[in-house]
Amino acid sequence: MATVGPAATYSLRQQYVTTAKRGPITRLLEDERRLAFCLMLPTVVLLALFIAYPFVNGILLAVTDTRVGVPGKFVGMDNFAKIWSDDIFHVAVWNTCLYTFVTTVFKLVLGLWLALLLNRHFRGKAFMRAFILLPFIIPTVLSTFAWKWMFDPTFSVLNWMLFHAGIIHTRINWLGDPVMAMVSVIIVNVWRGVPFYAISLLAGLQTISPELHEAAAIDGARAWNRFRHVTWPLLLPVTLVIVLFSVIQTFADFQLVYVLTGGGPANATQLFATYAYQLGIGTGLLSQGAAISLAIFPILLLVVVVQLIYIRRTETL
Amino acid sequence: MIEGAPWRRWVFFYVPVTAFVVSLLFPFYWMVITTIRPDSELYRPWSAPNYAPFWTTHPTVEHVHDLLSETLFTTWMLNTMIISLAATAISLFCGLLAGYALSRLKFPFAGSIGTAIFVTYLVPQTLLFIPLADIIRNFRLGDSPWALILTYPTFLIPFCTWLLMGYFKSIPKELEECARIDGAPRWKAMVYIVFPVAIPGILSAGIFAFTLSWNEFIYALVFLSSPEQKTVPVGVTSELIRGDVFFWGELMAGALLGSIPVAFVYSFFVEYYVSGITGSVKG
């Protein structure tokens, strides 16, 4: 924080001490509650208008049979019953859970590894840290196109590399094969997410005092034991928060799959969000689309509540 | 550093670090090389004997030229810039005021409003885009930049508020109290004393908000329809693909140029950006 010299303090004082007469508005804002009300007003209005209202509207949509341009009538839980017995919806639920679980595990392990590597002193560290974040800051859609081009069945540079390394003998049909399509989508998500995990975990690592490590080393603890019994327990609270954020984002992911496979082939990579988009916007079945995206909510809520309870518990330990 | 023999240093440090850096940056290299590669070389199957993936012998700017002259790319860039700047400004304004109120003032329901803002922070865009599209249509905002300028703050404000709240809490209360004793009214103490000290926090929040708005996709995809209103991510997705034909050279040129503003802003403020990430995680 900048220290303010006496001269600067004086000029500052002239700015804000107008003394004598205070306008009616200033007097009004002297009251803590009124000031707080005025300060909170813009935020509350915007969030109410574009979060709370759409949420309620979404529930209202989901219990009618609205289509684009056709005002619907009340149909109760019909839409939910319909998606409950919809096979594609089941596939989407399973895919979303698989996608979230696998990517989170990989992102956590690789991110932690990278963070531990970067937590050393070496030349060019700041430079490297800046470059490593690039996959996270470059617009996802744009970098996903680069991947789509790398996965292209005829022109794939990945196939070329794997072939010349002697790992494969025929081409891999990355996005055309149902299993490989899921693998591809997972690879891109992990690629994009690892930097975020690494940088956040690195920040967590830097708050751990090196003296603890030295003490453990003096007591004869080896590198693995030092990690297991010193670093990991201290890092756990930060890790849980990072995982919470990442799980929510991954669970509701849309753009990556939309660009890479569009949910195909034959719904092999269909997620909640892509399916909701396909039904709600693509086919114009607004209320069914709304019902699907609302179905994310209870699952998301469950995940968040479980994680928050767990975070609370590790914090009070 | 790693203790022990040099080979240990190689195995446990240099090799994995290099592998990480290469695999994280390779797609960007691939974007660049595809952009400057002529079509005749671009559409050569990977199994062809003269497939030379990592360099090109005849670099060309043809794709960039096509992109700039034959598509609306410059318009999309301008749209995205205006929308991102406006959304960031609105979010910073709201976030500053709300963050200050929540961290410094006592008022009824302060706790529950704070929690509510945190919860909206966790609501993903994909949950709300269908009903929101309906609302945008009813407000007659569809297909105009306002649809995005007004909706982007919904995911930016919670983040800005949360980050700035943390920042305000780290500023000692005495600073403000001094000004109040000198006779400054509350709001002036806030604007002239607390806000200037919080500038690093404001920068972090602003840069983070800017990159998030530049990155946003689903709202832009759903709320905008005419080509000249689109943002870069949506324009590149929908206008550079005709049916099943991908114009890969132009696509990669678009991806490259569309990333530059974000990369540029980021390169100047890496430290603020990193503290934005860590601040958002610590809450």
Whether residue B94 has pLDDT greater than 80: yes
pLDDT score at A1: 40
How many angstroms separate the Cα of A250 from the Cα of each of A95, A97, A143, A199?
12, 10, 17, 18
Cβ proximity of B153 and B94 under 8 Å: yes
Whether residue A204 has pLDDT greater than 90: no
- Comparison of pLDDT for B62 and A103, the residue scoring more: A103
Cβ distance A254 to B217 less than 8 Å, yes or no, reads: yes
Shortest distance, CA A170 to any CA of chain B (angstroms): 10
Give chain B positions within 8 Å (CB) of A281: 130, 133, 222
Q: Helix, strand, coil % (nearest 5) of chain A?
A: 75, 0, 25
Which A positions 17-56 lie with beta carbon below 8 A of chain B? 17, 19, 22, 26, 29-30, 32-33, 35-40, 42-44, 46-47, 50-51, 53-55
Taking Cα atoms as reference points, which of A225, A152, A148 lies closest to residue A188?
Answer: A148
Instruction: Tell me which range, A141-145, A297-301, B132-136, is most confidently predicted by mean pLDDT.
Output: A141-145
Cβ distance B183 to A19 less than 8 Å, yes or no, reads: yes
Residue of B43, B107, B130 to mutate, interface with A, max A Cβ within 10 Å: B130
Shortest distance, CA B220 to any CA of chain A (angstroms): 11
pLDDT score at A21: 58
Which tokens is B266 given?
Answer: 């980021």
Confidence category of residue A2, pLDDT binned at 50, 70, 90: very low
Chain segment B164-203, per-residue pLDDT in tens: 988 888 888 888 888 888 888 888 888 888 899 889 889 9
Taking Cα atoms as reference points, which of B111, B130, B124, B100 lies closest to residue B197?
Answer: B100
Mean pLDDT of B146-157: 93
pLDDT score at B283: 45
Which B positions 86-145 lie with beta carbon below 8 A of chain A? 90, 93-95, 97-98, 100-102, 105-108, 110, 113, 116-117, 120, 122-135
CB atoms within 10 A of CB A298: 9
Based on DSSP, count helices (H) and strands (E) in chain A, helices before strands. Answer: 17, 0
Give chain B positions within 8 Å (CB) of A22: 185
Average pLDDT, rounded, for chain A: 84
Task: Give yes or no for B32 touching A (CB within 8 A).
Answer: no
* Cα nearest neighbour of B11 on chain A: A117
Task: Give yes or no for B33 touching A (CB within 8 A).
Answer: no
State the burial class of residue A103 (Cβ atoms within 10 Å of its Cβ: 0-12, 13-18, 19+).
buried
Chain segment B14-26, per-residue pLDDT in tens: 899 889 999 999 9
- Comparison of pLDDT for B271 and B34, the residue scoring more: B34
pLDDT score at A32: 82
Q: What is the Cα–Cα distance from B158 to B120, expressed in whole angstroms?
A: 7
Mean pLDDT of A143-172: 84
Supply the pTM of this predicted model. Answer: 0.88
- Say if domain B65-282 classifies as CATH 1.20.120.1810: no
- Comparison of pLDDT for A153 and A189, the residue scoring more: A189
How many angstroms separate the Cα of A227 from the Cα of each of A181, A209, A211?
36, 13, 14
Least confidently predicted of A125-129, A165-169, B104-108, B241-245? B241-245
Taking Cα atoms as reference points, which of A81, A94, A79, A58 lies closest to residue A271?
Answer: A94
Q: What is the Cα–Cα distance from B181 to B47, expressed in whole angstroms?
A: 78
Task: Please name each of the domains of chain A with its CATH number.
Answer: 21-62 (no CATH), 87-316 (1.10.3720.10)
Task: Give residue limits of the domains in chain B.
Answer: 6-60, 65-282
Chain segment A208-262, per-residue pLDDT in tens: 888 888 888 888 888 888 888 888 888 888 888 888 888 888 988 999 999 999 8
SS3 sequence of chain B: CCCCCHHHHHHHHHHHHHHHHHHHHHHHHHHHHHHCCCHHHHCCCCCCCCCCCCCCCCCCCHHHHHHHHHCCHHHHHHHHHHHHHHHHHHHHHHHHHHHHHHHHCCCCCHHHHHHHHHHHHCCCHHHCHHHHHHHHHHCCCCCCHHHHHHHHHHHHHHHHHHHHHHHHHCCCHHHHHHHHHCCCCHHHHHHHHHHHHCHHHHHHHHHHHHHHHHHCCHHHHHHCCCHHHCCHHHHHHHHCEECCEECHHHHHHHHHHHHHHHHHHHHHCHHHHHHHHHHHHHC
Whether residue A3 has pLDDT greater than 70: no
Cβ distance A199 to B277 less than 8 Å, yes or no, reads: yes
Whether residue B280 has pLDDT greater than 70: no
Chain segment A32-60, per-residue pLDDT in tens: 888 888 999 999 999 999 988 999 988 88
Give chain A positions within 8 Å (CB) of B97: 38-40, 42-43
